[in-house]
Amino acid sequence: MSTLFGLSHNATLLVWTLIAIVFLIVLISKYKWNPFITLLISALMLGLLAGMKPADVITSITGGLGGTLGTIAIVIGLGTMLGKMMAESGGAERIATTLVDRFGVKRVHWAMMIVGFIVGIPVFFEVGVILLIPIIFTVARKTNMSLLQIGIPILAGLSTVHGLVPPHPAPMIAIEAFSADLGKTILYSLIVGIPTAIIAGPLFGKFIGKRIHTEPPAELAEQFATKKSNNLPGFGITLFTILLPVILMLIGSIANIVDPDATSGFTVFCEFIGHEIIALLISVVFALFSLGFSRGFNKHDISRFTSECLAPTATIILIIGGGGAFKQVLINSGVGNAIAEVATHANINVILFAWLVAALIRVATGSATVAMTTAAGIVAPVLALTPGANIELVVLATGAGSLVLSHVNDAGFWMIKEFFNMSVSQTLKTWTVMETLLSVVGLIFILLLSTVV
């Protein structure tokens, strides 16, 4: 079924996509269907309505689910073990206590944004969330503040860096495609990113935290609960342990920038230890000693901690995989190309054009990285025909557009929903609004900056 009521093929694809998304939201939010099952049904329905062959729909679903979980499942597993060791040793309690003492209860959410911003520089968003969830839970419990008031600033910091700030891989894609200057892009990204993260993070977090109250999922709250209230580990070793994967990934990013062709064995080694899976594996093994054996736990305790912490993540992993399946059907059915074609025919300012292309692809595919990559390919030829355009700001506009309107086809949407124990409606009102704020406010600051640089 390729067309509907005389509409063009692209318009028909957009109509079927809208129907599939509405179907998905209603089934989960109103009828309380299991999100994993509903995501699979919605992906199957969209693929068939869009005219894909049944065998191709199945291939897209299995490929999307497997492709999404190929890295994320390992990241969640290792990150959860690292979080468990932080909780059992009292490390999360130590960091939370220190932050509260240094910043005060009234300003601790500002500290959370800074933590998210720093941790997010070399790591992908999902990795940062996994690393910081134990601290979010612990700080919220110690301060009696809303989980969202603590969590939204960290998420804003992580997401801002993901879309805007090199040397994160996503903006590096656009920098390379547009031949932008790395130094200028970093400078402009900080000028734009910091105030954007402040508005979407601490300010919006305080606003929405007073209106929507959530509690951590019972099983995760229990496994990340502090088991020791005194004789906590030192702040320095705890901070180093949680930042070790960040440090390793940053080393890999810097090595790639200095030697992009990996001509030396040292660069290859740095990129190897900087891969998120290897960095997390090294960090977990280090944590077994720094927060495990050195704290008096024996081999049986360590084995129990690293085994029992995985059970609560099973549902989260499946739901994220379902989101990946839905996303892949959107891509393979041609919806992403339809969105890009609509945007390409818009005759607007190149900065707005870059933002719009990335935003439409993000809405269609659910992936900020896919949006950035695809948009870069579409915008690059347009940029080449636009003399005088500020290339670095076009990079930032592409990144800002790739963050907009995260919804049910985004694996990150389901991760945040499950970790923060929210309904679909609450996730749309919090996470989706925060991402859209980041995107739109970021665009506003980019346009303002374009008037002076």
* Same-domain check for residues 254 and 367: no
Residues 95, 198 within the same domain: yes
Domain boundary among 37, 61, 85: 61
**Residues 258 and 339 occupy one common structural domain:** no
- Residue 4 inside a domain? The answer is no
Q: Select from 272, 288, 314 the last residue of a domain.
A: 314
Considering the domain architecture, whether residues 307 and 214 belong to the same structural domain is answered as yes
Whether residues 69 and 15 share a domain: the answer is no
Question: Taking a C-beta distance cutoff of 8 angstroms, is the pair 131, 79 a contact?
Answer: yes
Closest by CA to 394, choosing from 189, 95, 97, 103, is 189
Q: How far apart are CA 387 and CA 210, in angstroms?
A: 48
In a shared domain, residues 51 and 153: no
Alpha-carbon span 417 to 430, nearest angstrom: 10
Instruction: Please indicate, yes or no, whether residues 113 and 72 belong to a single structural domain of this protein.
Output: yes
8 A C-beta contact, residue 43 and residue 268: no
Asked if residue 106 belongs to a domain, the reply is: yes
Asked if the structure places residue 326 within a domain, the reply is no
How is residue 53 written in tokens? 């062959």
Nearest-CA neighbor of 189 among 125, 117, 241? Answer: 117
Signed CA dihedral, 395, 399, 404, 406: sign only = positive
Question: Rounded CA gap, 267 and 125, in Å?
Answer: 24
Residues 309 and 379 in one domain: no
Shared domain for 28 and 117, answered yes or no, is: no
Residue 2, domain member (yes or no) = no
| Structure letter (DSSP) for residue 377 | H
Does residue 348 share a domain with residue 309?
no
Length of the chain: 453
Same domain flag for 88 and 221? yes
Residue at 321 is within a domain? no
CA 77 to CA 72: how far, in whole Å? Answer: 8
Q: Print the domain residue range for 57.
A: 9-61
Looking at residue 234, what DSSP letter applies?
P
pLDDT by position in tens, the chain (length 453): 456 655 677 788 888 888 887 787 778 767 778 778 888 998 899 899 988 999 999 999 999 888 878 777 887 788 778 877 877 787 777 877 787 788 887 888 888 888 888 777 656 677 678 777 887 887 888 778 888 888 899 999 888 988 888 766 667 777 877 888 777 887 888 899 999 999 999 999 889 888 888 877 776 666 666 555 557 788 888 889 878 887 887 788 788 778 877 778 888 998 899 887 898 899 999 999 998 898 888 999 899 888 877 776 777 678 778 877 877 887 788 876 676 566 556 667 888 988 988 888 788 767 676 677 667 766 777 777 777 788 889 999 999 998 988 887 777 888 888 888 888 889 999 999 999 999 999 999 999 999 888
How many independent structural domains does the chain possess?
3
Per-state percent for the chain, helix, strand, coil, to nearest 5: 80, 0, 20
Co-location of 337 and 364 in the same domain: yes
